Amino acid sequence: MKHRLLPWVKRISAVGGTGVVVVALFPRVEDAYWRRRDPHRVLGDHTSSSSLSKAAHDNKKNLVVLGTGWASVSVLKHIDRDKYHVTVVSPRNYFLFTPLLPSVCAGTITSEAVTVPIRNITSYKALPMWDRIRFMWRGYLPDRVTYLYAAVTDVDPLTKTVTCRQEMNDDKAGADKSSFDLSYDVLVIGTGATTNTFNTEGVQEHCYYLKETGDATLLRQTVLRNLEKASLPTTTEEEKRRLLSFWVVGGGPTAVEVAAELQDFLHFDIVNPVHATFNQCAGYTSVNLVQSNKDLLPGYPKKIRDFALQQMERSKVEVITEARATKVTRDSISVYDKATKSTRDFPYGLIVWATGVEPGPLIRRLMSKLPEQSHYRSLKTDSQCQVLGAPGVYAIGDCADIDLQAEYEYKLGKNFGNLHNKYSAIGPPNDKRLTMKGLGKLVDRVKELSEHSVSAPMSKIYHTLSERYTNSNSNPDDAEGISQSELQDIAQKHLERQKILPPTAQVAHQQGEYLAKLLNQPKIDPVSSTWTFDHGPTFEFADMGQLVYVGGHMAALSIPASQDLSVSWDGSMTNYLWHAAYFGMLESTSARTELFFDWCKSSLFGRSTALDAICSSDNHIEELQRSEKAITNTPTRKWWKKIGL
């Protein structure tokens, strides 16, 4: 048996060794190849005219992408650069892996493990090896993606331009906030959303959000500062309990994971009786979670909701359900109990606000320009992610919602208006009417809409209009066609509002990949040379499951088995799946390496309790928060820029 296996072992070893050598030597061979073809291009001389670029037949369109989040990065990874000049505009020059931000605020991992520079993602070296071999075979390099470190302040759909403001701030040279305009043929908006405070008094002034790495870092430093202050001999017991009372408002996955990570940090690294680092704080720490519903994790299966609540209580996290925060002052939070209809005030040392999202200033400004946009939460798009009322503008991710009802009401109204110019009939001045011939034309157009629709009610609208037209014996020019109000009544009767997709990284990633594939296959008019994309498929979200960490080395997983059934797992073994899934989803090998060693270090040696000197005083942190609110309306965003880092 040993002699039979030995030849196979040798063959497998030879093949594996050859593969390792090829992978190791490929970058050197690749660099030598391109240097021989065009040394200026590879050495970074971007101004030289390179024969390796395919830009000679410059019939490309200008594609401008706003943001560097999940949706935008997914577009950048799948877009065909042979068809577009791609420009990315964002005040954040890296991609942030948001699902692991709660681990950063607890010190389980560092911010370097969840960030990848955007230029690394869009570089030639980031392409898979087979794609790089393909470019070598074709003999030219793909066009580079242009990144601009700037913030977009305005979008003009009429002139197809975006107004940008530089984000550089040099104290020696003075603040340079000059603006510039960019023209686009196709615009992709993936700027995300801001935290929704529901106009609760005191939230902007006293609460922390968790949207950026700066938010997580400042939150962690505030926790450590409170621990150090509570350890002083001059601190009273009442003040200790206030400083070490940490509150999280919200019941979604972000809120649950923040509360779980904070409780793990306090239990395993701060007041653990075996290796406690803050003995003076034992017995004074508390983590409280306020949720307006009766269950945590709305939208998750009931088994996971129950498990999350049980695990929170087992980890000694105080969960207050069916309650909402009504007011936040400097030292207390007011919580309204829906059951007793009473309000109580609780002292706190830190509050994390994670209650949902709302559109940012740019999205609000764009919505105010478009009559078709009346959704308070986000931009309304059609089933191909195109913003209603703005041709050539696409919105994906947290800043947008696909609304089939609004889409088809808009398309029906537009077709009715176009036909009314030619087939108008006499009727009331405030209610336009089509002739029977106009109704026949409308039936044909609605039939085309129903064939491209993923919404079954659209077909019902077609059959209703078709039956009305075929059963009529009127003259084609008679005014017995259909009025605008009658068409609206038929549409409202049959169209059903699609369930709004959740603002998650999974949805944003799938939308970005779908949109890139849609833009990669334009339909080019041979006469006008215009590009259209309405012939392509509509977006359909494929739920790949939900993961959430609930503390105590426990996690929960839900995978849909059918349209109405999902399979759920929970426990310590699911925690390993949680680690493996997020490890594989990171965008770079460097980030995976950082994440792996951070997890190992936290498991073996515990989380660090080193307090950064720049956040060691109350006045300094409050100054950072006040200055940040004045600019971004977000307490902790880009806090490092205020201290000259």
| Average pLDDT value for residue range 141-165 | 93
Of 185-189, 479-483, 607-611, 635-639, highest mean pLDDT:
185-189
Domains 61-196+356-398+503-542 and 213-355+544-639 share a fold: yes
**The pLDDT value given to residue 366:** 95
Cα–Cα distance measured from residue 190 to residue 68, given in angstroms and rounded to the nearest whole number? 7
The more confidently predicted of residues 393 and 545 is: 393
Could you please report the per-residue DSSP string of 120-185?
A: HHHSGGGS-HHHHHHHHHHT-PPPPPEEEEEEEEEEETTTTEEEEEE--EETTTEE---EEEEE-S
pLDDT value at position 47? 40
Q: What is the pLDDT of residues 83-96, one digit of tens each?
A: 999 999 999 999 99
User: Whole-prediction pTM value?
Assistant: 0.81
Distance CA 581, CA 586 (A): 9
Range with the poorest average pLDDT among 178-187, 196-205, 447-456, 520-529 = 447-456
Contact 312, 347 (CB under 8 A): no
Report, in angstroms and rounded to the nearest whole number, the Rg of the chain calculated over CA atoms: 29
User: In 316-348, which positions are buried (b, 16+ CB within 10 angstroms) versus exposed (e)?
Assistant: ebbbbbebbbeebeeebbbbbeeeeeeeeebeb
Give the pLDDT confidence score for residue 474 in this predicted structure. Answer: 61
* Domain ranges, ordered by start, for the chain: 1-36, 61-196+356-398+503-542, 213-355+544-639, 405-502
Reduced to 3 states (helix: H, G, I; strand: E, B; else coil), residue 634 is coil
Confidence of residue 499 (pLDDT cuts 50, 70, 90): low
β-pair partners for 156: 161
Does CATH place domain 61-196+356-398+503-542 in 3.50.50.100?
yes
Q: Quick check: 412 and 405 in contact, CB under 8 A?
A: no
pLDDT tens profile 211-249: 999 999 999 999 999 999 999 999 999 999 999 999 999
- pLDDT for residue 27: 76
Could you tell me which residues are beta bridge partners of residue 350? Answer: 246
pLDDT at 270 over 60: yes
**CATH for the 213-355+544-639 domain, from 3.40.50.920, 3.20.20.80, 3.40.50.300, 3.50.50.100:** 3.50.50.100
Band of the pLDDT at 373, cuts 50, 70, 90? confident
The whole-angstrom separation of Cα 170 and Cα 177 is 10
Residue 554 has a pLDDT of 94
